[in-house]
Structure 1
Amino acid sequence: MTTQELSTQDKDLIWHPFAPLLSPFEYIPLDSAKGVYLHTSDGKTIIDTVSSWWVNIHGHSNETLAKALYDQAMQMEHAIFAGFTHEPAVRLAQNLMTLLPEGFSKVFFSDNGSTSIEVALKMSLQYWYNKGNTNKTKVVALDGAYHGDTFGAMSVSGRGGFTAPFFPFLFEVDFIDFPTEENKEQIYLQFEKLVAHEDCSTFIFEPLIQGSGGMRMYSPEILDRLIAIAQQHDVICIADEVMTGFGRTGKVLATDHVSHKPDLICLSKGITGGTMPLGITACNAKIEDAFRSDSYAKALLHGHSYTGNPLACAVANASFEIFTSDTCQQNIQRVHTKHLAFAEKLKAYDNIEKIRVQGTIIAFDLKGFGETGYESSARQKIYPYFLERGILIRPLGNVIYLMPPYIITNEELDTVYQEILTFLADH
C-alpha cells in the first residue's frame, strides 16, 4: 500500500483521538520507529520530543524490551487472572515494591492510566464503605486536573473542553484552585475547610505537574502541606503518577519529593517503556486492611479481561531493569541539566513567559496566542512548523514543552533547542 493509499484508507476508516473528523492536518503514515526517531513511509525522520504521549522512556523499538515481549509470547501470551497467577506479575509486584513508599503492600493490575484512576477511586470509596462509614463520599481535586477519559477519571478532572459534553453524567467533586506561591495560604484554608467536613473521603492530585493542564507546576512544599492537611483529617490521598512516575520529575516518583506519602499511587505510561499498555494501582497497608476479609462483599469488585497480562508484565520487568540502571539514571540527570541550561537561553526572549523545568520536562508559555487549550490558535502554527523540520512537538495550547525519551543525546537535544530558538526569533 502506497503512502497516499494508506492516508486515504486511514481518513476513510479510522477515528483518531482528540481531533475533529474533518481534521486540518493529514495523518502521517509511519513505517517504523527507533531510538528517538519516528520514520515516515516517505523516508523522513522525526525526533519524538514528547515520548509518544509521554510513554516512551527508553527509546522506540528497544531490543531488550522486544526480546522480553517475544520470549513471554512464546511461553504464555495471556491467561485469566481470576483464580490464577504467574511469575511475570509476581516479579513485577516485587520490583514495584522497591520503588514505592515504605508501607505500601499491594498492587492491582489494570489496562491503562484511566483505569488505574478508576481502581484508585473505587478502592478509596470502598475503603470507607468496608469500614462501615457510608457518609464519606465526597472527593476533592485540583482545578485544571486531567486524570483520564473514563467517567470516574473525568469526574475528578477539571471541568472544561475535555469533559463538557458529559457534565450532566459526572459525579460531584469539590475543586480547589491550582496552588501557587502567591495564593497558597488561601488554598490551605480553602482545602482544610473541605477536608475537615465529615463527608470528605478522598483527595486526588497530579503531583507537582499538571500535564494536560498545560505543564503547570507547583512546589513540593505546597503538595507536602496539602497531603499533611488531608491526612490530619483522615482523608485518603491518591497520587496520579501516570505521567510523573518513572523518573519524569528527576526522581523515581514525583511524591519522592515530599515527606508525606499518599495512600494510593497510580502508575502507567512509562511502566513498560512505551511498549505495552498497563496500569497499576498500588496501595498502602491502611487501605489493604479494610479489604482483608473472606467476604466477597468486602472484595474489590473490579477486574479486566487483560488484568495481569503476562506480556505487559514481562516487558515492565525488563523496563524496570533498564530504568534502575546507572546509565538510565545518569541520562535522566543529564537531560535535566541540559534543560536547565536551555532555560537560561530562553530568558533572552520577551515573547515567552513562565519558563519552567522539572526533571526531564521543560515548558514555557508563548505570549500573544491566547490561553492553554487544544483549540488555541498556537497549535496551528507550532505543530506544522516543527514537523516540517523533523521534530514532533505537540503544544498544549500556547505551551511548548519537551518530554523526550531519556536516551536522547546532547546533540539531538541541541538540534531541538536550536529549532525552538529559531521559531521564537521568527515569531
Structure 2
Amino acid sequence: MKNLNSINLDNKYIWHPYTQHKISPTPIRIVSGNMTKLKDDKGKTYIDLISSWWVNTHGHCHPYISKAIYKQSKKLEQVVFGGFTHDPAITLSKKIIKILPKKLKKVFFSDNGSTAVEVALKIAYQYWINKKKKKKTFIAFKNAYHGDTVGAMSLSSGSELFSVFKELFFKIKLFNYPSTWYGDREIDEKENLILNKIENEFKRNKDIAGLIIEPLIQGSGGMNICRKEFMKKLSNIVKKYNNLLIYDEVMTGFGRTGEIFACKKIKSEPDIICLSKGLTGGFLPLSLTVTTNKIYNSFLGHDFDKALAHGHSFTANPLGCAASIASLSLFESKKVLKNIKFIEKEHYSFSKKLLKLSFIEKIRICGTVLAFEVKGFGAGYKAVLPNKIKKFFLKKGLLLRPLGNVIYLMPPYCILKKELKYAYKIIYEGLEKIK
C-alpha cells in the first residue's frame, strides 16, 4: 500500500525530465543504491549500466565519498562565494588544475553541466569585448548536446530536441561531427571535408568567438564517436587562427574515454574546459569551467565593467567540493584506472559477438562507452525501439536508457566481471527477440 501511495503522490506532484507523461509508463521507485546496483520498492535490483545519466563513477553510496560529505557537513555546509572562500574549494581547484593540461589555471564554479557551458560561452564572448574585438558567433556541431539552458540549447540547435525553442537561440555555425564505427571506410574523407569547411569558415568569418565540441564522444546526440586524430587537427586549426577552443567534457571527463580527460587522450590543450557529471562521483551537483591565465587576465581592470558578471547561490558549495576531492582521491588509485581499462577490454570482446547480428550496425567503443544501432526503427532521439525490449531489460535487472535506436553502456568503474558478463548475455538475448 505504501509503495502504491508513493507512486500516486509522484503522479500528483512531480514533473519528470524528458518525459511525455500522457504515454509514459509508471516510474520505478528506487529506495537504495549500492555500488553498481539500485534497489526498487519491491526489492528488485538493477545493474546501473548508464551510471545514472553518466554521473556515477565509483559506485552508488561509495563509503569514502559518503564519509567525506558527512565530515564536511559538520564543519561548513554553505557560504556565499562572493568575497569569501573556503578550504574545500581551494583544495579542489588545486587538485583539478594539477591533472588538467598545463595552461588551464583558473577555476570558475557553478552548479551543473549546462551552467558550466553557459559560463564558458560568457567568458569567450566577453573575452573579445574586453580586448575591443567584439565577436558573437560560435562554431558548434550537428547532433551536439551541451545542456538545456538557452545558451547551451543554441549550441545544440541542430538537434531535434530543441526545435520548439529555436526563436530564442543566438547565432551559431553548425558543422557535421565525423562519427565513426567498426568498418567505416569513409572516415578519412569525412574528416577532411569537415576540417576544410571549418578552416574556410575561420578564414572568411572574423565574427567567430569560439569553437565548442564534445571531444571524442557526443553524448545525448547518440553516443557518436570521433577519432582523436580529427580532434588534434581541429585543435590545430583553431589555434592557427588565434581563436578559442572550448571542450565540453561534462560527460567525457573523469575516465569515460579511457583517460581521466578526453583532452589528455587527444594531447590537446583547450582554452576553456567544462566539467561536471562525474566530478563529485555522482553524489551532488557541481561543475567547473576552467580557463587560462591569458583569458582570466583580460577580465582584470579598475572597474566592474570588465569583470565576469556571473554567479550562483550555491557556487562552490563546500559539500560538493568535499565529494569532488574524495572522488579525485579515488582516481589516484591504480585500481580505478585498471578497472577502466578492464571495462574497455570487455566491451571489445562483446562487440565481436554483436557483429554476428545482421540488424546491428555502427558498433563503436571509446573507453568505458560501448554503443551500437538497431536497424529498422528509424534513427535519431525520437526513434522508438519496441517497448517489449525495454521491458525485457528491466525484467532481467538491467538499467538501460536507449537514445532512440542507439543502445549504449556506460557503467560505473566498480562494475564486476560477472555483472558485465550477465549484462552482455541479457542484452544479446533481448536483441535476438527483435529478430
The TM-score range, normalised by the shorter chain, is over 0.9
Within 1, Cα distance between the matches of 2:273 and 2:169? 22
1:255/1:381 CA distance change after superposition, 3 Å? farther
Q: CA deviation at 1:337?
A: 0.9
Shift of 1:381: 4.0
Root-mean-square deviation over aligned CA pairs: 1.1
Secondary structure of the 1:31 match is: strand
Amino acid at match of 2:282: G
Give a deviation string over 1:83-137, Cα, whole Å, max 9, x none: 0000000000000011110111100000000000000000001110111112x11
Alignment-mate amino acid for residue 142 of structure 2:
D
CA offsets per residue over residues 238-288 of structure 1, 9 Å max, x none?
A: 000000000000001111122332100000000000000001000012211
- Residue aligning to 1:34: 34
Report what 2:426 is aligned to.
419
What residue number does 1:376 align with?
Answer: 383
The structural deviation recorded for 1:407 is 0.1
Tell me which of 385, 399, 406 is aligned to 2:413.
Answer: 406
Provide, for residues 275-304 of structure 1, a one-character-per-residue CA deviation record: whole Å limited to 9, x for no partner.
000010000122112123343111111000
Counterpart position of 1:305: 313
Offset, 1:379:
5.9
- How far apart are residue 24 of structure 1 and its match? 2.6
Could you say which residue in structure 2 is the equivalent of 1:187? Answer: 194
Q: 1:106 to 1:379 in 2, by over 3 A?
A: farther
Determine the C-alpha separation between the residues in 2 that align with 1:26 and 1:242.
Answer: 29
> Which residue does 1:24 correspond to in 2?
24
Task: Write out per-residue CA displacement over residues 195-237 of structure 1, whole angstroms, 9 at most, x where no aligned residue.
Answer: 2221111100000111101000110111111111111111101
Q: Deviation of residue 426 (structure 1)?
A: 2.0
- Aligned position for 2:269: 261
Code of the residue aligned with 2:353 in structure 1: it is: K
CA contact (8 A) 2:258 2:367 kept: yes
Instruction: Give, in whole Å, the separation in 1 of the partners of 2:78 and 2:119.
Output: 21
CA contact (8 A) 1:37 1:48 kept: yes
Q: Which residue of 2 aligns with 1:272?
A: 280
SS at match of 1:17: coil
Amino acid at match of 1:64: Y
8 Å contact from structure 2 (residues 142, 156) kept in 1: yes
Q: Give the TM-score normalised by the residue count of structure 2.
A: 0.96
Residue 229 of structure 1 is aligned with which of 211, 223, 237? 237
256-265 vs 211-220, greater mean Cα deviation = 256-265
Residue 346 of structure 1 deviates from its aligned partner by: 1.2
1:100 aligns with 2:100: yes
Distance 2:51 2:378 in 1: 26
2: CA distance, partners of 1:380 / 1:423: 11
Give the match's secondary structure for 2:270.
Answer: coil
Distance 1:42 1:34 in 2: 16
SS in 2 for 1:365: strand
Alpha-carbon separation, structure 1, partners of 2:337 and 2:431? 31
Q: Distance in 2 between matches of 1:137 and 1:379?
A: 43
- State the Cα deviation string for residues 33-52 of structure 1 (Å, max 9, x = none): 11111100111001100000
Match of 1:127 in 2: 127
Is 1:357 matched with 2:365? yes
Alignment partner of 1:152 is 2:160: no
Q: Name the residue aligned to 1:334.
A: 342
For residues 23 and 60 of structure 2, the distance between their equivalents in structure 1, rounded to whole angstroms, comes to 27
Distance 2:28 2:200 in 1: 50
Report the 3-state secondary structure (helix = DSSP H, G, I; strand = E; otherwise coil) of the residue aligned with 2:160: coil
Alignment partners' CA distance in 2, 1:339 and 1:246: 19
Letter in 2 for 1:232: K
- Aligned twin of 2:84: 84
Q: Which amino acid aligns with 2:162?
A: T
Matched letter for residue 141 of structure 2: L
Of residues 182-191 and 229-238 in structure 1, the stretch that sits farther from structure 2 once superposed is 182-191
Distance 1:5 1:214, change over 3 A: same
Q: Structure 2: which amino acid aligns with 1:153?
A: A
Report the Cα distance in structure 1 between the residues aligned to 2:158 and 2:268, rounded to whole angstroms: 28
Identity %: 43
Task: Write the distance in 2 (CA, Å) between the matches of 1:248 and 1:355.
Answer: 17
**In 1: Cα distance, 2:266 partner to 2:419 partner:** 33
Once residues 42 and 426 of structure 1 are traced to their aligned partners in structure 2, the CA distance between those partners, rounded to angstroms, is: 27
Q: Separation in 2 of the partners of 1:142 and 1:297? A: 32
Partner of 1:205: 213
Moved more, 77-86 or 153-162: 153-162
Q: Which amino acid aligns with 1:162?
A: L
Instruction: Report the equivalent of 2:183.
Output: none
Structure 2 portions without partners, runs of 5+: 180-186
SS for the counterpart of 2:311 is coil
Give 1:417's aligned amino acid: Y
Structure 1: state its 5+ residue gaps. Answer: none
Bigger Cα displacement from structure 2, 407-416 vs 16-25: 16-25
Give the Å deviation of 1:193: 1.7
Contact 1:379–1:395 under 8 Å retained in 2 = no
CA-to-partner distance for each residue in 1:320-364, whole Å, 9 max, x for gaps? 101121111111111111111111111111110111110001010
> Match of 2:166, as an amino acid?
F
Please point out which of 300, 312, 327 is paired with 1:319: 327
Whole-Å separation in 1 of the counterparts to 2:268 and 2:395: 46
